[in-house]
Amino acid sequence: MGLFLLTLGACLLFEVTVGRYLPWWGFMIFPFAFSALMATTWQRALSAGAAAVGLLWLAAAAYLNSLNEGILGVRMAPVFSLPGTWALIAASALIGALTGGLSALSGYLLKYALKGDSRR
């Protein structure tokens, strides 16, 4: 659990500080790298990457929604057949969690592919 929280915290810290200068896919570099370096199991790699990016995208979407008083979310939710603004924010967080988790899992699997270890 301690290594999971360390990976989660490190990903969040680097994504908040450096991630503002990268495109959206730049956020996937950090879970990939940290999972390749520190993850002990594929489940922890997947969950840490998904939690880090999902929480970050949830916070970013909620913050941006509050800046424009929800006007954009109210207009965009029907385009995606969603019931409201918060469903749009949740969908954004889910997409971020999926991409972050898969990025972290890829980093973990690359580590074992390079080691030549068949254990996963």
pLDDT class for 40, splitting at 50, 70, 90?
confident
Express each pLDDT in 78-91 by its tens digit.
999 999 899 999 99
pLDDT class for 94, splitting at 50, 70, 90?
very high
C-beta of residue 77 within 8 angstroms of C-beta of residue 87: yes
pLDDT for the residue 98? 96
**What backbone torsions phi and psi does residue 118 show, to the nearest 5 degrees?**
-85, -5
Hey, what amino acid is at 59?
A
C-beta of residue 73 within 8 angstroms of C-beta of residue 65: yes
C-beta of residue 5 within 8 angstroms of C-beta of residue 40: no
pLDDT for the residue 27? 80
pLDDT class for 108, splitting at 50, 70, 90?
very high
pTM: 0.84
Q: Cα(90)–Cα(87) distance, rounded to whole angstroms?
A: 5
Express each pLDDT in 45-84 by its tens digit.
999 899 988 988 898 899 989 999 889 889 999 999 999 8
For the cut 80, the answer to whether the pLDDT of residue 117 exceeds it is: no
Distances (CA, A) of 9 to 16, 33, 54, 76, 109: 11, 14, 13, 32, 21
